[in-house]
Structure 1
Amino acid sequence: MSLWQKYRGISPKTRILIGCGIMAYAGVALVLSDKAEEKFGLVPTEKDKEELQRVIPRITTIERESR
């Protein structure tokens, strides 16, 4: 029996609780990851941001003649 079939076999209320639990876990992880970056000194400096902007490819548009 596949995981999807097992998931579909549980009650809808349980599936809602599982989904809400996963979303709550993801939200907490987003908040805590920012604090962990600050604690470990992994916050990007202005120099890092400038270097990133320098290596990002740029798109240039060319005007075409209308026929």
Structure 2
Amino acid sequence: MSLWKSYRALSPTTRFGVGIGVLFWGTAGLYFSDSAADRMGMTPTEADRQSLDKMMPKIHVVDPQEK
């Protein structure tokens, strides 16, 4: 039985609870990830930030009148 079929076989209230649990897990991960990275010493250095700025695409606006 596939995971989707197993999920669909659950009662609606159980599926609702699973959905709320997944949303809570994702929200908690977003909320605590920065503080956990700080505690583990995984903060980016200035060199990391500069290399990221080099990789960022540059956007140039071109006026359609000037061809």
Q: Give the match for residue 44 of structure 2.
A: 44
Question: What is the TM-score normalised by the length of structure 2?
Answer: 0.72
Q: 1:15 to 1:64 in 2, by over 3 A?
A: closer
Q: Distance in 2 between matches of 1:29 and 1:63?
A: 42
Question: What is the TM-score normalised by the length of structure 1?
Answer: 0.72
Structure 1 unaligned spans of 5+: none
Aligned residues: 66
The one-letter amino acid of 2:9's match is: G
Structure 2 unaligned spans of 5+: none
Q: Distance in 2 between matches of 1:24 and 1:60?
A: 39
1:13-64 deviations in Å (ceiling 9; x for gaps)? 1100000001111111222221111011111133321221113343556678
Q: Which runs of 4+ in 1 moved over 6 A?
A: 61-66
Q: Distance in 1 between matches of 2:60 and 2:36?
A: 38
- Compare CA radii of gyration and give the structure with the larger one: 1
